[in-house]
Structure 1
Amino acid sequence: MTLDDLKKRFPGSAATGPRPGTVRGDHDLNPDYYEDAGLPEALREAAVLVPLVDRPEGLTVIFTQRTAHLSAHAGQISFPGGRQEPADAAPEDTALRETEEEIGLPRGRIEILGRLDTYVTRTGFRVTPVVGLVRPPFELDPDPTEVEEVFEVPLSFILDPANPQRHSRPLLGKERHFYAFPYGHRYIWGATAGMLVNLRDVLREAT
């Protein structure tokens, strides 16, 4: 996947707004997920940035690992992002603001390419994944209260036909299924992995 291939699917910074298509979420592999969790109800709006880095050796994806002491999703691997604030005019503003707060990557280093499908989580969030192109050089300054580590994964790994895997574990008295991208000693799963499946589908459309 080259930068030119990427821009065939995301044609420029003006390409904001939702993609046509169905809403994705934790229910993709668990049709009764939301019923068991008491959803749908009033969903809380959130956004994440899916940061693609234009490296000489190929495109990579930035991830964060959350600190172990957080009350929600402690230690999990995720994209930078969070809840929409009243001052955020659009999901892109939420994603850029949260990215700067969490990992110190200024919005001026990010070119917005477009959005993936909305992702609804079992915990009651409607998340808009915003795809952004990050051009080196840049320096990061992770917030130590939220972020344990920032790392990059080659986009080629995400696009490999051997990925993603489907895993399961007991939750709320039932066997629950989810996507996972094991990468070395790291384990990317849950909503983040679901969004990566969406990214993979979109980019494969461009080839």
Structure 2
Amino acid sequence: MVNFQSLKEKIKKILRKHDVGDKFSHLLLPKASVLLPITIKDGELFLLFTVRSMELKSSPGDVCFPGGREEPADSDEVATALREAEEEVGLRRDQVEVISRLPPTITMAGYLVTPVVAFIDETFQPRSNPAEVADVFTVPLGYFLEPEKHSSSSYQTSENMSMLTHSFEYNDPQNNKSFKIWGLTAWFALVLAVLALEKKPVFNVGVDVEDLIPSCERFLIKSYEYKKSKL
């Protein structure tokens, strides 16, 4: 059995090396944040996901991380992610230990979305807000490196760059349900798995995993400069 505390400290040390902090907070775009909540079960890292309520106008039924748009009272991207997680699944701030921020991504709608990585208390029990969340489940972090069901497709960005979009299907043994994790949510999970576990996926990611953070940052800056040029 892997020692709980030693595993936690090891992962924190690894991820803090890749923390971008507020490096991109100055970018002049509408902002949003998502929380990537890590928990440890039986010596293994798991990542918590939510399923969006079918009542929502935007992406009903999609798998995502807790998160949403920045509000005026939010002090930074971390505050946005923590507030949204508490509103959506009842995750209190005293149950969260924030570790790092990973490079943001600009969505098709023009939002700068920052992934905030955190450990959550192993005793946490979700209390979902039914107006926003239809389901909550966890996936072993290693699944995103060696999935049973994975697909990818190539697309051309508006900046004329060729990229891969990834999709994972996960059969959850806890409640005998199947979930599709794709798009930006899949990308953030994949980046986190590569960094935290320090392993390469068994499939082509579409970027150099040996140079992952710089690759993400270069793509972000290129996307941002393109957006600015169109204003």
Determine helix, strand or coil for the equivalent of 1:156: helix
Residue by residue over 1:55-106, the C-alpha shift from the partner in whole angstroms, topping out at 9 and shown as x without a partner, is 2341110000001121101100000000011111111100000000000010
1:5 partner letter: K
The yes-or-no answer on 1:180 pairing with 2:167 is yes
Measured in 1, the distance between the counterparts of 2:69 and 2:36 equals 15
2:120 partner letter: V
How has the CA–CA distance of structure 1 residues 69 and 98 changed in structure 2, closer, same or farther, with 3 Å as cutoff?
A: same
User: What does 1:51-130 align with in structure 2 at a 5 Å threshold?
Assistant: 51-130=37-116
1:195 partner letter: F
User: What residue number does 2:207 align with?
Assistant: none
* TM-score normalised by L of structure 1: 0.76
Specify which of 99, 121, 128 is matched with residue 135 of structure 1.
121
- Cα pair 2:142 2:193 within 8 Å, conserved: no
1:134 partner letter: I
Measured in 2, the distance between the counterparts of 1:159 and 1:194 equals 12
- Cα pair 2:141 2:193 within 8 Å, conserved: no
- Write 1 or 2 for the structure with the bigger share of helix: 2
- Cα pair 2:95 2:120 within 8 Å, conserved: yes
Count of residue correspondences = 179
Measured in 1, the distance between the counterparts of 2:40 and 2:167 equals 24
Measured in 2, the distance between the counterparts of 1:204 and 1:19 equals 24
User: What residue number does 1:160 align with?
Assistant: 146
How has the CA–CA distance of structure 1 residues 112 and 206 changed in structure 2, closer, same or farther, with 3 Å as cutoff?
A: farther
Please tell me the root mean square deviation across aligned C-alpha atoms, in Å: 2.9
Structure with the greater relative contact order (CA < 8 A, sep ≥ 6): 1 or 2? 1
User: What residue number does 1:17 align with?
Assistant: 21
Determine helix, strand or coil for the equivalent of 1:10: helix
- Cα pair 1:165 1:179 within 8 Å, conserved: yes
Residue by residue over 1:162-187, the C-alpha shift from the partner in whole angstroms, topping out at 9 and shown as x without a partner, is 78531479xxxxxx952111112211
Structure 2: gaps of 5 or more residues: 156-162, 172-177, 201-231
Structure 1: gaps of 5 or more residues: 21-41, 170-175
The yes-or-no answer on 1:3 pairing with 2:4 is no
Determine helix, strand or coil for the equivalent of 1:151: strand
Measured in 1, the distance between the counterparts of 2:89 and 2:168 equals 22
Determine what percentage of the aligned residue pairs are the same residue. Answer: 37
- Cα pair 1:6 1:206 within 8 Å, conserved: no
Deviation of 1:7 after TM superposition, in Å, equals 1.9
How has the CA–CA distance of structure 1 residues 107 and 154 changed in structure 2, closer, same or farther, with 3 Å as cutoff?
A: same
Measured in 1, the distance between the counterparts of 2:9 and 2:93 equals 22
